[in-house]
Amino acid sequence: MPKTIAIIGAGIAGLAAAQALRASRRKVIVFDKSRGSGGRLSSKRSEVGNLDLGAQYFTARERHFSTQVQVWRELGLVDSWQPHLYQSRHGVLSYSADEQQRFVGTPRMSALTRSLCAGIDCQFATRISTLENTPQGWLLHDSEGQPHGPFSHVIVATPAPQAVPLLAASQSLSQAAAAVAMLPTWAVALQFAAPLATPVEACFVQHNPLDWIARSQSKPGREHSGDVWIGHGSSAWSAAHLELSPDEICEHLRGALAEVLGCTVPAPTWQLAHRWLYARPEHSHDHGALADPAMGLYACGDWCNGGRVEGAWLSGREAARLLLEQGH
C-alpha cells in the first residue's frame, strides 16, 4: 500500500493537518485549485496594495492555538490589530469598548498559510474532481482528467458544499457535509483619493446591507495609496444580490458605507468586488473533524469546528490526530 497522504485544500485547515502529519514524519501532498495558499484567509494583490477580502482578523482562545499564534508573532508573521472599533445599529454609530484581542497576518493574511506550506509538497492550480478507491489506494482525478496517487489516505479540507462530491465514497461523511449550509458574502474594496472624514477604523454593522467595514491601512503592515476600505455585505443581503455585477455591488455598498459613517463618501478612485459563495457555515458545528477510518477518508475545515480561522486550524490538527490514532 502507498504511504503518502493526500490533502485537498491549502487553506489553514488543510495546511494545519499537513504540518501535523509532517511532524509525525508522514509524507503529504496538498492539492489546491487556486494558484496559492490561504483560501478564505488569503489576501488579494492589487494595484492599491494587498487586500484582506476574506477573513479580517482572528482570535486565539484555545490553548494550543494561542501557543501557535505566539510562535507566529515571534516570527513576525502575525501582529495584533487594535482598531478604533465602532458598532452601527439602526444607523446609529457608537464607539465599541471591547477587550477582544484581534490578530492579523503581516504584512498580509497569506503570510500565515505561506509559512505553513514550508516543507510540504503543494500542487496548486489543481482542482480535484473525484476520488477513486482502488485496490492500490486512493486515486485523485483532477478537472483536466489527470490522475494523482495512489494515496493511503485522503483528508478533504474544502468548504462543505465542495467536500460533498469528494466524500461520496463514504456515506457518513458525505451526509455530514451535505447537512452544512454555507452562506455567501459580497466583499468590496474601495479606494478614496482623500481620507474619509471619520475616526472609524472598523465597525460591526447591523440593519444595513453591510455587516462589517474596516479601514485597511489601520492594520499592521498594510500600505496603500489613498484611503482603502473593505466592506462585507451581510449574508442575507449578499444572497439576495448574488447575481448583480461587481460594479453594481460596489455602488450599492458605497451608499451603505456612507449611511454607516454618516460622512461624505465620494466616488472611489478604484474599486473591486469579490463574491464568496461559501463564506461561512450557517450554523456552528463542533465535530472537530470527521473520520471514516475504515475507508481512510477524513474531512476538516471551519465548517466542522466553529466556522472561523481558529476553529479551522484546530479542525485540521484534529483530522491529523484521528488519522495517526488509527496507527497509520
Ligand X SMILES: Cc1cc2nc3c(=O)[nH]c(=O)nc-3n(C[C@H](O)[C@H](O)[C@H](O)COP(=O)(O)OP(=O)(O)OC[C@H]3O[C@@H](n4cnc5c(N)ncnc54)[C@H](O)[C@@H]3O)c2cc1C
CA distance linking residue 92 with residue 57, whole number of Å: 24
Residue 102 phi, psi (nearest 5): -115, 140
The SS3 of residue 15 is helix
Q: 130 vs 269, which CB is nearer to ligand X?
A: 130
Contact 315, 13 (CB under 8 A): yes
Minimal distance, residue 235 CB to ligand X, in Å: 10
Asked if the bond preceding 266 is cis, omega within 30° of 0, the reply is no
Q: 279 vs 295, which CB is nearer to ligand X?
A: 279
Asked if the bond preceding 150 is cis, omega within 30° of 0, the reply is yes
Minimal distance, residue 97 CB to ligand X, in Å: 19
Contact 159, 10 (CB under 8 A): no
* Contact positions vs ligand X (CB under 6 A): 8-14, 31-34, 39-41, 54-58, 127-128, 157-159, 162, 185, 187, 232, 276, 279-280, 301-302, 307-309, 312
For residue 271, the cross-strand partners are: 190
Give me Rg for the CA atoms of the chain.
20
Q: 84 vs 262, which CB is nearer to ligand X?
A: 84
Q: 96 vs 269, which CB is nearer to ligand X?
A: 96
Q: 156 vs 261, which CB is nearer to ligand X?
A: 156
Minimal distance, residue 160 CB to ligand X, in Å: 9
Minimal distance, residue 1 CB to ligand X, in Å: 24
Minimal distance, residue 24 CB to ligand X, in Å: 20
